[in-house]
Amino acid sequence: MTAIRIPTKDTTSAPPDRRRAWIVTGMLLLFMLINFGDKAILGLAAKPLIADLGLTAEQYGLLSSGFFALFSISAIVVGFVANRVRSKVLLCVIALASIFRRGLLLS
């Protein structure tokens, strides 16, 4: 009886590029800072929003709760999308969306 030899692929991978790893780490840090800023700005703008829109404390509470509920739901949706889309594409889309929102705020 002769043994059948099955060719195997070399499963050892090259070491990750350290520079690229730090770039990705920096991008993630930047996105987390933007993420924090998006949530914090609603609290910082509370008094001017209430005064300008004539909201009661209850109405402002509902507005804030709606924002955080939508934020939580979108985090779950983006988590599912992240499993199906390349990370590079997803990060670019998130970056463009953040830049677009900043442009709307400044106009």
Low-confidence stretches of the chain (pLDDT beneath 50): none
pLDDT at 73: 93
pLDDT at 9: 62
pLDDT at 45: 86
pLDDT at 104: 63
Question: Structure pTM?
Answer: 0.53
Write out the two tokens for 69.
């509920």
How many Å apart are CA 101 and CA 77, to the nearest integer?
A: 19
How many Å apart are CA 65 and CA 7, to the nearest integer?
A: 59
pLDDT at 40: 82
pLDDT at 105: 62
